[in-house]
Amino acid sequence: MDDFEKLLDAERASVERFVRFRLSSKADADDVLQEVYFTAYRKFSQLKNKDSFKAWIISIARNKCNDYFRRKATQFEIPIDELTEKELSGGRHGVSEIYIVRDTLNLLGDRDKQILYLYYWKELPQAEIARQLNIPVGTVKSRLHTAKQNFKDKYPYRTHISKGENCMKRLPEFIPEYKIEASTKNPFAVKWEELMGWFLVPKPGEKLSWGMYDIPSRKCSHIYDMKVTGKAKVHGIEGVELTAREASYSDKTDVIERTFVAQLTDTHCRYLATLRNDGDIRNYITFLDGDEFMPNWGFGEDNCGNETNLSQKGDIRRAGSVITSADKEFLLDIVGRYTLTINGRSYDTVCVMDIETYNCGVMSEQFLDRNGRTILWRRFNRDDWAIDHYKKKWSEQLPENEQLTVNGITYVHWYDCITDYIL
């Protein structure tokens, strides 16, 4: 028995449970499972870490289930791939792009998808829909009402919002003036244990607050209060649960609460799951959920997470405002040593640059002190990032803001983040 057969035998029951739970038809489930096994066998040589076999084959199973439902949607004349209205959503580094209509429709049943498509995209009158579906007009009206309500409940599947809660206001309304000076000294290695994009170290008892500041106004737009609430397990992997409480700095009437599970090891820090509220359903999205999880929360090969032991690799090279990088999928590297003066104090830091590791068109600078804590985080958008949404290039929207070039492409400074660690 070869390695593939041994690993498959050990995980076959999990794969079958995963598929049969999602497909009501036993015959269809059997067909999908055959596709899963064939694809896994064909691509097995591409799996570099055999310890990740379960997560890998479950991701194949998920994709095959999605293909199945896509074929079903096609039978109902619903071209899901063409429904590409883009929206912005929160991820591990703030705002990212999602396909909001398509993803919301994917949460609905086939009957709801069918009636919405015929009425809104085909623009058919209710009488014609009744004729095509061979049902009474009254039934069309009833189904359309139900489908619209179901779509509204799940659009845009935001996290829980609570009213009238007060957010802590320790952070200043305007970010303090700061100065970044390049050092002639070599960059130091650092132990970086913060959760990527959220600045909290995922260990029991940890908590912090951080703020997001628009540039060039320097005014705080949102404050986040975070804390680790306890230990948690996801698919047998132990980590910690943490909550993030977001509020507008100027308007405290709405508070958005998020819940994550993360894992910190001696070598890596990663997200294991995030909680999303779909209407009245608490929907836990985990690292096994493929395209639902990876674009916004996953990082690294097989979602290993970001390395905690950082030293300069040479993958990203910086000379002033000009950056060049290697041709790699995950570009995160120390690019230099800097003295950062902010809020009346000077910090000896290294700058960690992240180039489009999670969202095409976004890069960041993260200045870490010797304790591995963030002193300042800065986001830059590629000039055409989310242009369908904003209608202008960033160099036109924010002409006064700092610009960097990465491999000859312009990126524009958008906003900064600081934490109460520096206060």
Shared domain for 28 and 60, answered yes or no, is yes
Range in 11-15, 186-190, 411-415 with the lowest mean pLDDT: 11-15
**Could you tell me the pLDDT band of residue 92, with boundaries at 50, 70 and 90?**
low
Range of the domain at 122: 80-154
Distances in Å between the alpha carbon of 369 and those of 192, 339, 341, 373, 415? 9, 10, 12, 6, 20
Contact 411, 403 (CB under 8 A): yes
How distant is the alpha carbon of residue 67 from its chain centre? 22
pLDDT tens for each residue of 324-381: 998 877 788 999 999 999 988 999 999 999 998 867 789 999 999 999 999 999 999 9
For residue 231, being part of any structural domain is answered with yes
Shared domain for 382 and 403, answered yes or no, is yes
Q: How far is Cα 105 from Cα 115, in angstroms, rounded to an integer?
A: 11
Q: Tokens in use for 10?
A: 């050990």
Q: How far is Cα 340 from Cα 322, in angstroms, rounded to an integer?
A: 19
For residue 139, being part of any structural domain is answered with yes
How distant is the alpha carbon of residue 216 from its chain centre? 26
DSSP string, 255-323: EEEEEEEEEE-SSEEEEEEEEEEETTEEEEEETTSGGGTHHHH--SGGG--EESEE---SSEEEETTEE
Shared domain for 218 and 360, answered yes or no, is yes
Shared domain for 409 and 284, answered yes or no, is yes
Among candidate residues 48, 69, 90, the one where a domain is terminated: 69
For residue 183, being part of any structural domain is answered with yes
pLDDT at 158 over 80: no
Shared domain for 283 and 347, answered yes or no, is yes
Asked, as a colleague might, if the bond just before 295 is cis with ω within 30 of 0, I would say no
Shared domain for 216 and 132, answered yes or no, is no
Shared domain for 274 and 413, answered yes or no, is yes
For residue 98, being part of any structural domain is answered with yes
Q: What pLDDT is attached to residue 74?
A: 55
Beta-strand ranges (E) seen in 57-120 are 86-91, 94-99
Q: What pLDDT is attached to residue 51?
A: 82
Strands 403-406 and 322-325: parallel
Cα angle for residues 242, 417, 224 (degrees, 5° grid): 35
Percentage of the chain surpassing pLDDT 70?
83
For residue 352, being part of any structural domain is answered with yes
Q: How far is Cα 35 from Cα 42, in angstroms, rounded to an integer?
A: 11
**Could you tell me the pLDDT band of residue 20, with boundaries at 50, 70 and 90?**
confident
Q: In CATH, what number is assigned to the domain containing residue 207?
A: 2.40.360
How many CB atoms lie under 10 A from the CB of residue 280? 6
Shared domain for 119 and 14, answered yes or no, is no
For residue 258, being part of any structural domain is answered with yes
Q: In CATH, what number is assigned to the domain containing residue 111?
A: 1.10.10.10
Range in 91-105, 272-286, 341-355, 407-421 with the lowest mean pLDDT: 91-105
Count of the separate structural domains present in the chain: 3
Q: What's the whole-number mean pLDDT along residues 150-174?
A: 61
CA-nearest of 388, 391, 403, 316 to 351 is 316
Contact 207, 170 (CB under 8 A): no
Identity of the amino acid at 49? N
For residue 161, being part of any structural domain is answered with no
Contact 334, 312 (CB under 8 A): yes
- What length does the chain have? 423
Shared domain for 226 and 329, answered yes or no, is yes
Q: What's the whole-number mean pLDDT along residues 82-86?
A: 51
For residue 169, being part of any structural domain is answered with no
Q: In CATH, what number is assigned to the domain containing residue 62?
A: 1.10.1740.10
Shared domain for 342 and 273, answered yes or no, is yes
Cα angle for residues 155, 156, 162 (degrees, 5° grid): 100
Shared domain for 371 and 260, answered yes or no, is yes
Shared domain for 96 and 187, answered yes or no, is no
How many CB atoms lie under 10 A from the CB of residue 168? 12
Sign of CA dihedral 132, 137, 139, 140: positive
pLDDT at 156 over 60: no
Distances in Å between the alpha carbon of 188 and those of 145, 147, 335, 363? 61, 57, 11, 22
Q: What pLDDT is attached to residue 86?
A: 55
